[in-house]
Amino acid sequence: MMAVAIGMVVLVAYAPTVAGARVYQCWHDTGHGPSTIKKIDCTKKPHAASVEGCQQKCDKLNKKTECEGMVYIHGPEYWESGKFCCFLKRAIEEESMYPEVHHVTCEALG
């Protein structure tokens, strides 16, 4: 585990996780603002309702477009509009990260 302080924000990076063919670096309790290319409705696609499931959605979308990371929101009570739990991202920039409880931001490393 590695902790990095940026201003008053401390980002904690955990060991990379593997989903499908790519490896991801994830930051827990961290959100990411821009570059969403697709929101996944987890009430209709429950297999995406986990960090690993969201990573797999990014891997699958990456074959068609440039999905380079994702944000997953833990727990249906925290999902955006009560249904969106997985946000696929064109890019993950550390300067665009912010503290957000129940969020996991992951960047594809390969």
Question: What residue segments make up the domains of the chain, in order of their start?
Answer: 24-109
Phi, then psi, of 78 in degrees rounded to 5: -105, -5
24-109 is classed CATH 3.50.4.10:
yes
Q: Could you give the CA distance from residue 74 to residue 2 in angstroms, rounded to a whole number? A: 22
State residue 63's pLDDT score. 77
67-99 per-position pLDDT tens digit = 999 999 999 999 999 999 999 999 999 999 999
Which residue spans within 1-110 are E strands per DSSP?
2-6, 9-19, 22-32, 36-41, 69-73, 84-89, 97-108
Cα 79 from chain centroid?
Answer: 13
36-58 per-position pLDDT tens digit = 999 999 999 999 999 999 999 99
pLDDT at 13 over 90: no
Give mean pLDDT, residues 10-30.
Answer: 70
State residue 19's pLDDT score. 46
Phi, then psi, of 52 in degrees rounded to 5: -65, -40
